[in-house]
């Protein structure tokens, strides 16, 4: 790494610009090689800086406001946000200020604002951590906060925002013996059997990775398979299967699994993970609507959604998105439910789930599915699984998971889960 720390800071600024200005997601940028020009340490630092700045953007903006007569261009604002995060995190002011002044100066559209950047960041350095901590926790961008408050109330949303700001620990789903894995990796066993690590480091270096004893999966994402309760030999379709954690769970339970996903690249990753953990599943690259093999005992439909339940791990989402595409996703979910039912044998179960905090992608979808298909019933007994709190039960018969649950354990992703039975 250069002694000034400039390369990772410029890379973090570039990530921020692409996310807030172009609406691109962090995963898309990283996968597209945005950090490939850096060495491993600088890649990790750049990504961490950008994620921290996105998590704290609202608080940083409030800290900057007294020093700005008007909001600067986004390119300058993003440099200032990054500077605030570093200065209030204890980084030496000289290197931080000089780096972001240079970042602003290298952009021909903002070079005339080098002086402003220098002056503002030096004032921020004087406030330091005390100025940071006296500000309230960051708020979710308004386009998303408003519907969340309407759905869950202000107090609940404030709890979610605290969880988002705290970030996420690393959760593992274990093939067998969670207690032994927890001891080996230095983690704790959660009520549903997932293993949680507060500090993970390099995942592939953890004990049990090469042996295939576990895979990375947020605890909330493990619940849909647990409520399905797959049995050995059960014929199960995992529709929209990538990234594959649920496919692995199903296979580990002994089910006869067919995993379908439209992305060949993502399905290749599923196959790699199956091989690493020593499990078997049939993998099919296909559009979900084009797949017509039927007579499954059970179908797991983890439908494409807004992913608003994953913000504590993906703080870029509310800055890259604005909600305009959500209606198309909601309509697609409705069609997927209807299609999945055609592939399910009589007496079979359909698990519908989304990693969303929006009722339109959860509770309301099930209400409307029952209206379209009055012969369906909701399996209420499926909710009675280890680790599921009855406070999470919803009126229509599903399960609502939120980031403000399990606060004392480090929270969880937002998820909705319901099990429908076909007569």
Measured distance between the N- and C-terminal CA atoms of the chain, rounded to whole angstroms: 62
98 shares its domain with 173: no
Q: What is the pLDDT of residues 9-22, one digit of tens each?
A: 999 999 999 999 99
CB 417 within 8 A of CB 352: yes
Is residue 288 one of the residues assigned to a domain?
Answer: yes
State the average pLDDT for the chain. 96
CA distance 164 to 315: 7
281 shares its domain with 187: no
Q: What is the pLDDT of residues 332-359, one digit of tens each?
A: 999 999 999 999 999 999 999 999 999 9
CB 264 within 8 A of CB 199: no
Q: What is the pLDDT of residues 151-180, one digit of tens each?
A: 999 999 999 999 999 999 999 999 999 999
261 shares its domain with 187: no
Percent of the chain at pLDDT > 70 equals 99
Write down which residue in 84, 108, 133 finishes a domain. Answer: 133
Q: Which of 88, 305, 353, 355 is catalytic?
A: 355
**Span of 21-25, 74-78, 79-83, 198-202 with lowest mean pLDDT:** 198-202
Domain with 257 in it: what CATH number?
3.40.50.150
CA distance 160 to 169: 15
Q: What is the pLDDT of residues 237-282, one digit of tens each?
A: 999 999 999 999 999 999 999 999 999 999 999 999 999 999 999 9
Task: Determine the pLDDT at residue 2.
Answer: 42
189 shares its domain with 101: no
Provide the token pair at 115. Answer: 């002086």
CB 190 within 8 A of CB 196: yes
Query: What is the band of 393 on the pLDDT scale with cuts at 50, 70, 90?
Result: very high
18 shares its domain with 126: yes
Is residue 161 one of the residues assigned to a domain?
Answer: no
Q: What is the pLDDT of residues 149-159, one digit of tens each?
A: 999 999 999 99
As for how many domains the chain has, the answer is: 3
Is residue 343 one of the residues assigned to a domain?
Answer: yes
Is residue 61 one of the residues assigned to a domain?
Answer: yes
Domain with 24 in it: what CATH number?
1.10.940.10
Is residue 157 one of the residues assigned to a domain?
Answer: no
Domain ranges, residue 32:
6-133
Query: What is the band of 1 on the pLDDT scale with cuts at 50, 70, 90?
Result: very low
Q: Is the per-residue pLDDT at 293 higher than 50? A: yes
Task: Determine the pLDDT at residue 4.
Answer: 62
Task: Determine the pLDDT at residue 92.
Answer: 93
Domain with 181 in it: what CATH number?
3.30.70
Q: Is the per-residue pLDDT at 3 higher than 50? A: no
Is residue 121 one of the residues assigned to a domain?
Answer: yes
Task: Determine the pLDDT at residue 202.
Answer: 87
Task: Determine the pLDDT at residue 165.
Answer: 97
Q: What is the pLDDT of residues 109-126, one digit of tens each?
A: 999 999 999 999 999 999
Residues near 238 by beta carbon (within 8 Å), at least 6 away in sequence: 246, 247, 250, 257, 258, 259, 260, 281, 299, 300, 302
268 shares its domain with 323: yes
Write down which residue in 160, 185, 217 finishes a domain. Answer: 217
CA distance 112 to 213: 55
199 shares its domain with 342: no
103 shares its domain with 179: no
Residue 240 a catalytic site member: no
Q: What is the pLDDT of residues 122-143, one digit of tens each?
A: 999 999 999 999 999 999 999 9
């Amino acid at each position: 790494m250069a002694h000034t720390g400039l390369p990772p800071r410029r890379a973090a600024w570039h990530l921020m610009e692409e996310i807030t200005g172009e609406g691109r997601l962090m995963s898309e940028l990283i996968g597209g090689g945005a950090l490939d020009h850096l060495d491993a340490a600088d890649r990790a630092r750049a990504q961490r800086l950008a994620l921290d700045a996105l998590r704290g953007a609202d608080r940083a903006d409030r800290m900057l406001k007294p020093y700005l007569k008007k909001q600067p261009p986004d390119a300058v604002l993003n440099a200032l946000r990054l500077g605030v995060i570093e200065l209030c995190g204890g980084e030496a002011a000289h290197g931080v200020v000089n780096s972001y002044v240079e970042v602003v100066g290298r952009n021909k559209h903002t070079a005339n604002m080098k002086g402003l950047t220098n002056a503002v960041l030096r004032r921020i350095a004087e406030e330091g951590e005390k100025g940071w901590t006296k500000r309230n926790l960051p708020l979710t961008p308004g386009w998303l906060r408003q519907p969340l408050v309407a759905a869950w109330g202000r107090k609940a949303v404030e709890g979610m925002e605290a969880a988002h700001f705290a970030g996420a620990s690393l959760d593992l789903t274990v093939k067998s013996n969670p207690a032994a894995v927890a001891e080996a990796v230095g983690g704790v066993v959660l009520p549903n059997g997932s293993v949680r690590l507060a500090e993970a480091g390099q995942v592939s270096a953890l004990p049990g990775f090469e042996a295939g004893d576990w895979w990375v999966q947020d605890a909330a994402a493990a619940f849909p398979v647990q409520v399905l309760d797959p049995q050995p030999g059960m014929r199960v379709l995992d529709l929209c299967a990538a990234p594959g954690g649920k496919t692995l769970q199903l296979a580990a339970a002994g089910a006869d699994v067919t995993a379908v996903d439209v992305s060949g690249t993502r399905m290749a990753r599923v196959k790699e993970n199956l091989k690493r953990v020593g499990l078997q599943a049939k993998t099919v690259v296909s559009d979900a609507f084009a797949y017509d093999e039927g007579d499954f005992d059970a179908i797991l439909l983890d439908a494409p959604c807004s992913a608003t339940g994953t913000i504590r791990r993906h703080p870029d989402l509310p800055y890259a998105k604005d909600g305009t595409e959500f209606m198309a996703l909601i309509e697609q979910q409705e069609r997927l439910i209807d299609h999945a039912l055609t592939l399910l044998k009589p007496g079979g179960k359909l698990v519908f789930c989304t990693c969303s905090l929006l009722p339109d992608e959860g509770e309301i979808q099930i209400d409307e599915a029952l209206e379209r298909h009055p012969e369906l019933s909701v399996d209420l007994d499926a909710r009675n699984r280890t680790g599921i709190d009855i406070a999470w039960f919803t009126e229509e018969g599903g399960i609502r998971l939120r980031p403000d649950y399990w606060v004392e354990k480090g929270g969880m992703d937002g998820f909705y889960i319901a099990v429908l039975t076909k007569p």
